[in-house]
Amino acid sequence: MNQPNSTVQTPDNPLLADWLAPYGLPPFELARPEYFESAFDLAMAAQRTELDAIANNPERPTFSNTLVALDQCGRLYNRIELLFSNLTYSETSPALQAVQRTMAPRLAAHENAIYMHAALFARVDSLYRQRQQLALAPQDLRLLERVHLDFVRAGARLDGAARQRYGAVVQELAAQCTTFSQNVLADENSFLLELKTESDLAGLPEFVREAMRAAAAQRGLGENSYALTLSPSLTEPFLSFSARRDLREKVWRERSLRGAHEGPTDNRPIAARIMALRQEQAQLLGYASYADYELVDRMAGSTAAVLNLLGQAWEPAKAKAEEGRVTLTAMARSLGEPTPIEAWDWRYLAEKVRAQQFDLDDAELKPYFTLDNMIAAMFDCAQRLFGLHFVEQHGLSLYHPDVRAWEVQRADGTAVGLFLGDNFARPTKRSGAWMSIFRSQSGHQGGTLPIVINNNNFAKASPTLLSFEDVKTLFHEFGHGLHGLLSQVRHERLAGTSVLRDYVELPSQLFENWALEREVLQRHARHFQSGDVLPDTLLDKLHAARRFNQAWATLMYTGPALIDMALHSLPNGTTVDIAAFEAEQCRLLGVPQDIGLRHHLSHFQHLFAGSGYAAGYYVYMWAEVLEADAYQAFSETGNAFDESTARRLLQHIYSAGNSQEPAQAFRNFRGRDPQVEAMLRKRGLLTV
């Protein structure tokens, strides 16, 4: 599976030499920050030369000499950019961040120059205008349509001053988004709460204490120290179990205020500037708002469709949350806690109620969910559904000791790709969970095998014990990983997760369902000390409690999604005070004060660390409609691993990439359009 990349040999910069490591992995041990700027300079120049050759080809435009050539050019640039972006997310440093700040506008200018290449677009546009007469294969036609849309959405039809201004806007946006992301990481790393007494640790189960001991050791504190950082893998269990209400409030406020502190990491003016630039970008391209611009390339298609979906969940969830509030208030009184309850109380009281109503305690469940066993569980599901085998590879030179690697094989031993897992939180890594690639699948030069990576931020311990929410996150990102690994398309532009944003979460959210399958947990959920299988009694309780507190979870998610749409739907030219806008939207929506928001605009990286989820945080619920209905296809057979259903799933969802229009792909799998009722039932918002 070793696939070296042929490049210009440049001995003084190892990033430009052939990558001869096993599987074509980057030379991580040589990827020092000082090499990137010169590597990018040469790689960008090489790609511009390739693009000029395509654009200036004296032969008339054909699909092969224009679209295929375009899809296959820029390999040197692409591999360096993927290495760079992955390191800035997963293993950054002050030196690498400095390079990132320098390169962000330059890389944006390079990308902009590609789409503003008039002669290149003329060839693409010529083919697009005669596409119905070209008799192209469906996948080739899809590539032509997608590439043409890429050019148009990037301003290829602009000219004169508008073209110049558009280039300046995208460069500044790249710089501002980089600053926003680095500010969030800086605020997260600046907070450290050291807990020193038993009183500080009151209510915390052993698995939380163990994780906090590991965090203290990672930060260089004493052997018997406990440390709390702003990593969700620590803050969320702390907020669920800590009996110290004052400390819960402190942690909740610090997490909420990331990016909203006066000083050099204040993201409020950064976000406001990003919004001004996005509005100008939309105006230059002829759209009334940035949301209108983004939704052109989404399944939803319009803000009305998005708001209709979110509205079906928002008001019912608020009504349902009132029932929960009454129950939690009663629990607070029984514990001698103050009322009315606050946002830093909800998780804590909900955990108490869950333990009482369902006799289910997360501290009782966690010993059965070791990270290693849950990795084995997700691999087992991939084998039973898709015939994949994961063979761990040792001795590879990777970018951090925590990263593990598996060769992915089919049943006959042929290679599918390489899968990397980077599962632990650390100060050099951004928070959250995500999937990325170091190399995409494609049919280029006889076939390119993907290198896929999953990032999580679990609290490292010995052993690492996961909450069931952590297990779902692990399976979610692996669903993305499978989407990248199983891709079987000819053209890289259509490969893997390069699909519409409100479709990309379907494979990931769908795969979460297998984490709750009884036979999966009975096989893999084993107590880390005794090896005993998760008892049926606990499994029954887990199933019974799966809709518990769903109104709270729905509001925590849907509130930011609605605020995102309101913000990006503002008419072009609207000046935005980020803090005031958020406060006003919370008032208009009636966001419950004792629930609050999962994301505040000052640290909302989905929106402001890049454009991927701008006017698009709704996509998780849109995809949830798809996945809830899709999983019913298995439920209707009575077998979560039904072979016929799994084959259709592989063919139309996991391996198809962007080779067909997503609504049609779903219809090909399900036999009809998706229905929203399954999602509402799953969230406990529809009882019939």
Q: Which residues are catalytic?
A: 477
The SS3 of residue 195 is strand
Q: Which strands sit side by side in the sheet containing 451-458, from one edge to the other?
A: 389-393, 404-409, 415-424, 451-458, 434-439
326 with 551: CB under 8 angstroms? no
Maximum distance among all alpha carbons in the chain? Answer: 82
State how far the Cα of 542 lies from the Cα of 544, in Å rounded to an integer: 5
How far is residue 297 from each of residues 112, 294, 436, 661, 668, measured CA to CA in Å? Answer: 18, 6, 21, 11, 21
Q: Which structure tokens are listed for 501? A: 């944003």
Using only C-alpha atoms, the chain has a radius of gyration, in whole angstroms, of 25
- Bridge partners (DSSP) of residue 61 are none
Q: Tokens 């359009």 sit at which residue?
A: 673
- Separation between Cα atoms, residue 512 and residue 405, nearest integer Å: 22
CA distances from 280 to 165, 364, 569, 605 (A): 9, 53, 13, 21
| Residue-level length of the chain | 688
User: What are the strands, taking DSSP E only, across 44-111?
Assistant: none
Token readout for 588 is 């208009």
Instruction: Say how many C-beta atoms besides its own lie within 10 A of residue 643's C-beta.
Output: 11
Phi first, then psi: what are they for 259, rounded to 5°?
A: 80, 5
As a three-state string, the secondary structure of 600-662 is CHHHCHHHHCCCCCCCCCCHHHHHHHHHHHHHHHHHCCCCCCCHHHHHHHHHHHHCCCCCCCH
> What DSSP designation does 63 have?
I
Q: Residue 436's beta-bridge partner residues?
A: 453
Nearest one of 505, 502, 557 to 300, comparing CA atoms: 502
Question: Cis omega (within 30 of 0) on the bond before 367?
Answer: no
d(Cα 31, Cα 326) in Å, to the nearest integer? 56
* Bridge partners (DSSP) listed for residue 226: 195
Omega before residue 94 within 30° of 0, cis: no
Q: Which residues have CB under 8 Å from 228's CB, separation 6+?
A: 192, 193, 194, 195, 212, 215, 234, 235, 238, 251
CA angle (649, 654, 656) in 5-degree steps: 100
